[in-house]
Amino acid sequence: MSSSRLSIYSPQVPVPTIAVVLLGFLFSAAHAVAVDFSDRQRESLAAVFYRGNPLPPPPTDLELKEIRTKARKAPRWERRLLKRLYGRDRELWVYATRDSDGDGIFDFRVSDYYGRFLEGDTDLDGDGIVNILDGRPFRVDQSQGTGSPLPPHLDWEAQGKPAEMVRIQRELYSRYGIVLVERTESFTPELARAVWDTVTRVYPRVFAREGSLPTLKTIATEDYSLLDPDDPEGATDFAQVLAATQTLVIYRRGVESPPAIQLGFMSHEIGHNIQFALDYDEKRQQEIILLPLAFTSWWSPTVGRRYRWRSTRATSSPSSGPSTCRSNPTTISTATRRSETGKSG
């Protein structure tokens, strides 16, 4: 796939040299290699879609051989970046660059701070069932179906949740196509109610008119936005919208907030989903998530958008970026910013 499909936009600033891009990235990521995060990086795969999801198949001998070949052919600065995030752990190198169904979308995106794995291709095995709903996301199995009811691994009734939470989860899914899913943090009755009230009371006309939003398919709970919970950059995160995967993530601070605060930040974040939906189209969404199959330009997009640089290979502007209740820069790429995804508010 041509790397011209992945582009960075800003009209104000000239394109930086590769040396400047590398300097900017190394400055931002330098603290991330002081500690070995390989265990945490692997653990992030165990809840990348939902709590306890199957792990990706271990790299084959062929993949391990090919990653060495690709790395040798890649620019030196790109090899250095892989080593800074994953050391010489070739298994993690494979996970970071794997495209299981060969559709040009990497299975995972990775953080440029700690190398955390996040969802990339929303149907990575290409069987027509999105990862969140797929009990076997790494294995083609069309027998599961894609409609109601919710699959057992998501169904709150099967998990013994209170009846009101069960009702909210099922109605959000059946009426609006929104799945509530727990990853490394759990929903509370109050948070489920805040989501429901936001959809049905804050934005009733929008959802009555649209039925569902193409930019909001999943609302997930996670403990922290960073692999390092002590990093002060993630300490103030309540929630954020990840436009590339139509996901809204609520973090522990948001889960533990009073109901009024929850209603406030949920209204803010779903407002972004509505905003992004105004100019949504399938082609543009593909441009947001399509990634190069080689290493070239793999990391520079996240640095470029952080400093408002642009690429001369740009062909069209992406419709939207990640959004969160806190700060400002946005990024969408294989490598992603400090919140593991990028920020805008």
Q: What angle do CA 53, 180, 277 make, to 5 degrees?
A: 115
What is the longest distance spanned by two Cα atoms in the chain? 58
Q: What pLDDT does 93 receive?
A: 94
Beta carbons of 86 and 78 less than 8 angstroms apart: no
The candidate with the shortest Cα–Cα distance to 33, out of 76, 101, 89, is 89
Beta bridge partners of 180: 219
Low-confidence ranges of the chain (pLDDT < 50): 1-34, 291-322, 324, 326-345
Q: What pLDDT does 342 receive?
A: 40
Buried b (16+ CB within 10 A) or exposed e, 28-62: bbeebbeeebeebbeebbbbbbbbebeebeebeee
The candidate with the shortest Cα–Cα distance to 322, out of 309, 308, 307, 338, is 338
Q: What pLDDT does 283 receive?
A: 66
The whole model's pTM is what?
Answer: 0.76
What 3-state class would DSSP assign to 234? Answer: helix
The candidate with the shortest Cα–Cα distance to 336, out of 294, 290, 312, 305, is 305
Amino acid at 157: E
pLDDT in tens, 21-78: 333 444 344 444 445 789 999 999 999 999 999 999 999 999 999 998 988 888 887 7
Amino acid at 243: A
Distance (Å, rounded) from C-alpha 191 to C-alpha 319?
Answer: 29
